[in-house]
Amino acid sequence: MKLQVTQENLNRALGSVARVANTRNALPILANVLIKTSNNRLSLSATNLDIAITHYIGAKVSEEGSITVPARLMQDFISSLPSGVINLELKETKLSITTDQYQSTVNGIMADDFPVMPAITSGQSWTVPGALLKKTLQQVVFAASNDETRPVLTAVLLHTSNGALYMAATDSYRLAERQLNNNTEDVRLLVPATAMQDLLRIIGDGADAVQVTHDDQQILFQVGDVELVTRLVEGKYPDYQKLIPSTFATSATLKRADFVNVTKVSSLFARESAGSITIEVDEAAQSLSIRSVASQLGENTAQAEAKATGSASITLNSKYLLDALNALGGDEVTFGFNGKLEATLLTDAANDDYKHVIMPLKG
């Protein structure tokens, strides 16, 4: 293998893939990135056996070949080099990396030993606008669970309902759902939330359409020159849509920034009580106020103006409330609830494409 590549391209590709490589794995080669020529392109790949990411870049190849090298060293090293041309040349398993100022040799492991994810040969394929997918991932993925004892809840559900594509995630304490574009394909897929976090990092701000292809076992996302493939999670996802309330005894519409501020201040007094805060909506006062009590430190009441319908109070976890308010993103939010133990709903006051449910705490 012998080639020339720019520092900018090599650095960008390592930035996409190196995070998936992991030195804590039992298999040493999984800490490596696979570098492989193909005509005048170079592919860089890394995998943890569940997720694989490949980034293609242009290169001036004079001898074809492939090698795997330690991902972290390679990323740190290439990102430290000045911009310009880098020469790569393989001698047995040693990769020589040279520029005007630097001469390095990195010890590799033969590419033959690198595990490759099976290809998706016959599957459905559709596209999602990049910016919409990115926004949806930001609003939904964090609501998935980290608890490996219920694997389906560590996944994000991607499914069609009445001709529209939805993404949803829940950890059973909160639930986020967003409608994406219309979709003629009928799908119901459980995609690991960790893979979706990797996908989020890959989708740039000016991303074009993302091509999605899947079979029964795997799903492939193609974002420009980057491919991410991940195994699907098996199991039956809860019928979450029936948990989303649609009518409310009490509701308040207020500026999102105000709601964030009063929640943040209140949460400081809720550290002793694991984030427990009590929200009171008052129709007569047209206000939403939050009360939190720290037996040791003191107590706080914070108030914001709101368009209120009904008067009642409910106790929530302040962290979940802040997560939801940050995900919402619009100017005004509507917060609705019913009984003290029933699901609450947060939506953008202007449209309800995105729904965020939080279960109350026992007050």
Chain residues that interact with a second copy, rule: CB under 8 A? 70, 73, 76-77, 80-82, 94-95, 101-107, 261-262, 264-265, 268-269, 294, 296-304
Closest distance between a second copy and the C-beta of residue 76, in Å? 5
Could you please report the per-residue DSSP string of 191-260?
A: EEHHHHHHHHHHS-TT--PEEEEE-SSEEEEEETTEEEEEEPPPS----GGGGS----SEEEEEEHHHHH
Query: 218 or 289: whose CB is closer to a second copy?
Result: 289
327 contacts 354 by C-beta, under 8 angstroms: yes
In sequence order, which residues have a C-beta less than 8 Å from that of residue 190 and are 6 or more positions away?
152, 155, 156, 157, 158, 232, 233, 234, 235, 237
Closest distance between a second copy and the C-beta of residue 91, in Å? 12
Helix (H, G, I), strand (E, B) or coil at 151: helix
Query: 264 or 307: whose CB is closer to a second copy?
Result: 264
Closest distance between a second copy and the C-beta of residue 274, in Å? 16
Query: 75 or 347: whose CB is closer to a second copy?
Result: 75
Closest distance between a second copy and the C-beta of residue 302, in Å? 5
85 contacts 102 by C-beta, under 8 angstroms: no
Query: 28 or 235: whose CB is closer to a second copy?
Result: 28
Query: 80 or 182: whose CB is closer to a second copy?
Result: 80
Closest distance between a second copy and the C-beta of residue 187, in Å? 44
Query: 44 or 117: whose CB is closer to a second copy?
Result: 44
**Cα–Cα nearest to 336, from 317, 309, 318:** 309
**Which residue in this structure is represented by tokens 């026992």?**
362
**Which residue in this structure is represented by tokens 């106020």?**
289
Closest distance between a second copy and the C-beta of residue 261, in Å? 7
Distance CA 253, CA 264 (A): 18
